[in-house]
Chain A
C-alpha cells in the first residue's frame, strides 16, 4: 500500500524559513513524479511544485519561484520542500503527493504551515 507521511510544519514568522519532509513507503519511490500541493484554510487546492523521478526536472507555480526549492532523496525514499522568505499567504496545509506521471494518484495526510508574527 502506498503511504506518504508529511512532516515539518509549524508556526514561523514572516520572512522565515521552514523545511517540509515526506517519507514514502509501499511503492517504488524512484519511479514516481512527486509534488507538493497546498490548501489555505477554507480554500481550494493549489499545486506548488513537482520533481521528476531522478530529480533532473523541477517545476514551480509562479508565486513560489525563487523562494521554495523541491528536492528528493531516492535512497531515503524522501521528498522535501525548502521554504524561504515565507509570507502570510503561504499559510496552508501542505500535502506531499505523487504518481507515475504528472497525474497525482496518492496523497499524504498533510502538514500545517502557519506564517504569522
Chain B
C-alpha cells in the first residue's frame, strides 16, 4: 500500500497570498498518477489536478500541480476567499487507492 503524507496539517494564510501544499508518497507513484481534491464543509470533494500537473476542467488557473515519483506539490497563487478548504492528494496508480490525511487551509 502506498502511504501518502501531506504537510502541513494546517496552513494559515491571508487572501492574495501563495499557498504551497506538499504530498509525499512512501514509494514511487507510477506514471505520476497523483490527483488533488478540494473539499468544503458538507460537500463532496472536487477534482482539481490529475496526473500530478494537469488542471481539471473548470479548475481556476491559479491552481497548479507539480512533482514526480514520491514528492508532489499543489500551489495556489493568489488565494481567493473561496479557496479556504481542505485539500487531499490521492494516488490512483495501484490498489488500494489511497488518500493523504489532508491539509486544512484556513484564513489567517
A residues at B contact (CB < 8 Å): 35, 44-47, 50, 59-62, 95, 97, 101-105, 107-110
| CB contact between B96 and one of A62, A101, A104, A105 (< 8 Å): that residue | A62
Q: How many A-B residue pairs have CB under 8 A?
A: 53
Assess A45 versus B47: contact at CB under 8 Å? Given A102-B92, A104-B35.
no
Q: Check A47–B97 contact: CB distance below 8 A.
A: yes
Q: Does B102 contact A (CB under 8 A)?
A: yes
Say yes or no: A47 contacts B99, CB within 8 Å: yes
Q: Tell me if B99 and A44 are in contact (CB < 8 A).
A: yes
A47 surroundings in chain B (CB, below 8 A): 90, 96-99
Say whether B3 faces chain A, with CB atoms less than 8 Å apart: no
Please give the number of chain B residues whose Cβ is less than 8 angstroms from any Cβ of chain A in the complex. Answer: 23
Q: What's the Cα separation between A57 and B15 when bound, in Å?
A: 45
**Residues of chain A lying within 8 A (CB to CB) of residue B92:** 101-104
CA–CA, A5 and B90, complex, Å: 23
Give Cα A62–Cα B39 distance, bound, in whole angstroms. Answer: 25
* B50 proximal to A (CB < 8 A): yes
Residues of chain B having any CB pair with chain A under 8 Å: 33, 35, 37, 39, 44-47, 50-51, 56, 88, 90, 92-93, 95-102
A102 touching B33 in the complex, CB below 8 Å, given contacts A44-B102, A45-B90, A109-B44: yes
Q: How far is the CB of B84 from chain A (nearest CB, A)?
A: 17
Is there contact, CB below 8 Å, between A105 and B56? yes
Which of A50, A60, A103, A110: most chain B Cβ within 10 A? A103
Knowing A44-B101, A45-B99, the reply to whether A103 touches B45 (Cβ < 8 A) is no
Query: Which residue from B35, B46, B95 sits with its C-beta under 8 Å from A59?
Result: B95
CA distance A45 to B37 in the complex (A): 10
A18 to B60, CA, bound (A): 39
